[in-house]
Structure 1
């Protein structure tokens, strides 16, 4: 009777579980949004132990759970443990292939705010141009990056410097002091500059040095 009860208890505990997959996704999201967390909260070096400890705890828990369920011969639970990291990796790879990034998600979350700020700009009969600070990463002795969301109704910021019109340069020069547009206007300033379109007239400008 005791053996039958023990067998039934083992069978009842041997079922597929999504908890391992959910934990894998949470840790994966932490890594995916690590750069954004650094920019928003200025974590810098504090981000390293946060990511390392999260990965260490997740890996140790996964190994312990796998060994324990193998020992107890809970094959459905073992399968769900083994499938969890593979499924999480496939989802992140699929999101990347579809062009979904942490920057795009951050933009979509704040889209209404950015559009509202643009709508407040005076209508001067010319394409509107606005900048939004998206923070920076890095510090002393390491590479530094400044991120800026730019609304350019003329979409000329996506062009190479030479083809940009004089009218666009004039609008940019009005906002230049204290904004990344100064570096965009002067590519020889020593900054490494990349411009990436997010959606519509919104672009993410990254300056590195």
Structure 2
């Protein structure tokens, strides 16, 4: 029995699969936005920790040292993958945008605007305010949203204020505020606005 267990003691990366559900939910939550992904995330994290801790204890008891080492360094490949994805701009929001870009463009084409006026549309990417961060996809044909805060033209400010009050197409850059936010370009006239507080929409 001891000899059989010793033969089964080998280094393996297969334990990395155990961690797959946790990062995957950040890329898949929008497929079912009505689910309570906060609770799902907690359950997933708890089950993953229990599985890894339990397996470490079992392998320690059986003196499977290489299995223990495998479990301890399993997170490293995921940290590298997540870092590379962040550096290259492959974020959950950019993936969602890429998969739904044609639907967004079709919706924008149906938008009625006065003749000669640039189109402006907003789409909530995390309507549940995941992690108290509002993520908004903005289509701004004038591209003025990419300018530093406060440098947008008066016409742009008046136009966006009107759209916000009449059609709830809102984005607030909070000029002069200390609240952190960022604007990232993800396509032609498309921007993702991150605002780290819940009150991102009027």
Following the alignment from structure 2 to structure 1, what is the Cα–Cα distance between the partners of residues 66 and 73? 11
Counterpart position of 1:130: 121
Following the alignment from structure 1 to structure 2, what is the Cα–Cα distance between the partners of residues 193 and 69? 46
Q: 2:55 aligns with which of 61, 65, 77?
A: 65
TM-score by length of structure 2 reads 0.71
Q: 1:17-48 CA deviation, whole Å, 9 max, x = no partner?
A: 44420111322334x469x66x93374xx72x
Does structure 1 residue 7 correspond to structure 2 residue 8? no
Tell me the secondary structure at the aligned position of residue 176 of structure 1. helix
Maintained 8 Å contact 2:119/2:141: yes
**Structure 1 residues 68, 173: closer, same or farther in 2, change over 3 A?**
closer
Counterpart position of 1:202: 190
Within 5 Å, give how 1:143-158 maps onto structure 2.
146-158=134-146
Counterpart position of 2:33: 40
Maintained 8 Å contact 2:150/2:175: no
Q: 1:154-180 CA deviation, whole Å, 9 max, x = no partner?
A: 210122354222443354244121232
Tell me the secondary structure at the aligned position of residue 20 of structure 2. helix
Greater helix proportion: 1
TM-score by length of structure 1 reads 0.69
Within 5 Å, give how 1:56-205 maps onto structure 2.
56-121=46-111, 124-134=115-125, 135-137=127-129, 146-177=134-165, 178-181=168-171, 183-184=172-173, 187=175, 192=179, 194-200=181-187, 201-205=189-193
Shift of 1:132: 1.6
**Structure 1 residues 173, 59: closer, same or farther in 2, change over 3 A?**
closer
Maintained 8 Å contact 2:118/2:142: yes
Tell me the secondary structure at the aligned position of residue 40 of structure 1. coil
- Alignment length (residue pairs): 191
Superposition RMSD in Å = 3.6
**Structure 1 residues 163, 95: closer, same or farther in 2, change over 3 A?**
same
Instruction: Give structure 1 stretches of 5+ with no counterpart.
Output: none
User: Is the radius of gyration larger for structure 1 or structure 2?
Assistant: 1
Report which stretch shifted further, 154-163 or 123-132: 123-132
